[in-house]
Amino acid sequence: MAALKKGKNASAQSKPGRSLALIVIAIVALTGGMFASGHTTPRLGIDLAGGTSITLRAVPEAGQESAINKTNMDTAVEIMERRVNGLGVQESEVQTQGDRNIIVNIPKGTDSEEARAQVGTTAKLYFRPVLTTELSGPAATGSPSPSATGGATDKATDKATDKDEASSSPSGSPSASATSQGRALTDALKADPSPSATATDGASPSASAPANDADSELQAQYAALDCTDEAARAKVGEGAKPSDSTLACGQNAQGQWQKYILGPAAVDGTDVDESEAVYNTQTAAGWTVTMKFTDGGAKKFADITGKLAQNQSPQNQFAIVLDNEVVSDPYVSQALTGGNAEISGNFDQEEAQGLANMLSYGALPLTFEEDSVTTVTAALGGEQLEAGLIAGAIGLALVILYLLVYYRGLSFIAIASLFVSAGLTYVIMSLLGPTIGFALNLPAVCGAIVAIGITADSFIVYFERVRDEIREGRTLRPAVERGWPRARRTILVSDFVSFLAAAVLFAVTVGKVQGFAFTLGLTTLLDVVVVFLFTKPLLTLMARRKFFASGHKWSGLDPKSLGAKPPLRRTRRPARPAGHVDPKEA
């Protein structure tokens, strides 16, 4: 057994190069991946890179004060996160503050106005039938209302012929197949078309007389409404109930403002189960927006689209209204009975994604108002980052100075290990930005600074175990191997405690504190990797060099300076003559 154990230890000592080769390969692979991805620096959070911070305050509707509760606030946070993330802003932060405020932090490089529109658009989403519409403001002179033209296509999920047949319908009128009885056609929507340029009489065919649903007062307000006026748009539709006809404004594909008279809400935004932007490769439709309704929503949607399909433009259109603004006004050519629908037209990816976000997350459980909007400049963030880096450099310099003074030559192994750990941390943080949206904020920088001490502590534990073995009279190579099992146990226990603390902190906190916890946990894991695959093998190799093995006074392992005991030797007693009895034993 002793021989086998000795052989095993000898084998372990003779192959430290394998561990070193493994960590070198890992570093090269990660670094190569970093450069290949094009993300060679970590993403910075709002407090370092600059950006916009929005504070939203929950406002209950009349008689519904109890709606402001933890469940609804948490739901609102989740919806806002999805809205902002739908814009591709993975490093944004959305969190509650107190019992009725939500803080949204949007980093630099994002269209803050678009993001504000997404998270601040907090009123209910409704599907309302269009009674009449026309261009508003100076552009309305001589301009007709939108006609049912355009290159929209229908969607058929069961038969391609259904799609082709519907898309070949004459523009300007409902598809002939829409009124067929018993047809197993799937749901299809056509996107709102552009204003026709063929009208010559200067009158809008749909604006001549609003539908009977709109009373005279609403007609008068409609005639006076100028949707190009921001103040007028802010007040349009105020106080209107879902069961009322109302006015609304919206922009068409050319960016021109249109005004609408809309009928009572037929479908609520909560009836939309999910929506997403999809690139349709089967037709020339390009980017489209798909919708899936709940069971109750599918029935209501089928009812309203069945009625609209019997009308002429624009009364075969329905408006998707969010915060009293029409975000889309598609028209229908058939009853949409399958619970799924698609809006297609001349969308680009950004437009399709924006509409899909509004449809999916447009029905927030609460109404929110902007309390404040604060912009953090990149200059201020740069100053904070510089201060954090200076603090980190000072901490690292002090640790290195201590190692040099106390451990001398042995300190170079620790310094090399620190730089390997720092390099791995930097590369991994750079890769985590595009992969999981990790953003380096100021608390995260603090976590990295704290990790310097944790990492150095692991080296110190191991070095002291080795020095203890030398004090017991052993030479360096056996001391390196005998000190490792005890040091390894201590290092693992210490790092486990640190990692557990970081995990708990990450789980129970929100916002920037999570950055500190994440960085602390990451660097703790890397500490274990570096100690096992770099520090221990490197010290094993160095123990074979004469400078360290001979205990040079500048090596940090000088037996004399450490107060080592002389090697223990056994002495044999002289053999006793036959029949001799020691008087002391008598």
DSSP symbols for 99-115 = TTEEEEEEETTS-HHHH
Q: How confident is the prediction along the chain (586 residues), in pLDDT tens digits per residue? A: 444 444 444 444 457 888 899 999 999 999 998 998 888 888 877 777 777 888 888 887 666 677 788 877 877 787 777 667 655 555 567 888 778 888 887 776 556 676 776 676 655 788 999 999 998 877 665 443 333 322 222 322 222 122 233 332 322 322 322 222 222 222 333 333 333 322 233 333 344 344 444 478 888 888 888 898 877 887 888 778 888 889 999 888 788 889 999 999 999 887 888 888 888 777 667 888 888 888 888 899 889 888 888 888 888 898 988 767 888 888 888 888 888 888 877 778 878 887 887 777 666 567 788 888 877 776 666 777 788 788 888 888 888 898 888 888 888 998 999 999 999 999 999 998 888 777 787 888 888 888 888 888 888 899 999 988 888 888 888 899 999 998 999 999 999 999 999 999 888 876 677 888 889 999 999 999 999 999 999 999 988 888 888 888 888 887 887 777 665 455 555 556 666 555 555 5
For β-strands 257-262 and 246-251, DSSP reports them as: antiparallel
Q: d(Cα 2, Cα 210) in Å, to the nearest integer?
A: 101
Task: For 468, list phi and psi in degrees, rounded to 5.
Answer: -65, -40
What's the DSSP call for residue 199? Answer: -
In the numeric block, the tokens 């123990």 are attached to 543
What's the DSSP call for residue 363? Answer: -
Q: d(Cα 392, Cα 442) in Å, to the nearest integer?
A: 12
Classify each residue of 214-230 as buried b or exposed e, where b means 16 or more C-beta atoms within 10 Å of its C-beta. beeebeebbeebbbbee
Question: What's the pTM?
Answer: 0.54
Strand 101-107's sheet: what is its strand order? 93-97, 101-107, 51-59, 367-376
Nearest C-alpha neighbor of 355 from the set 332, 336, 318, 328? 328
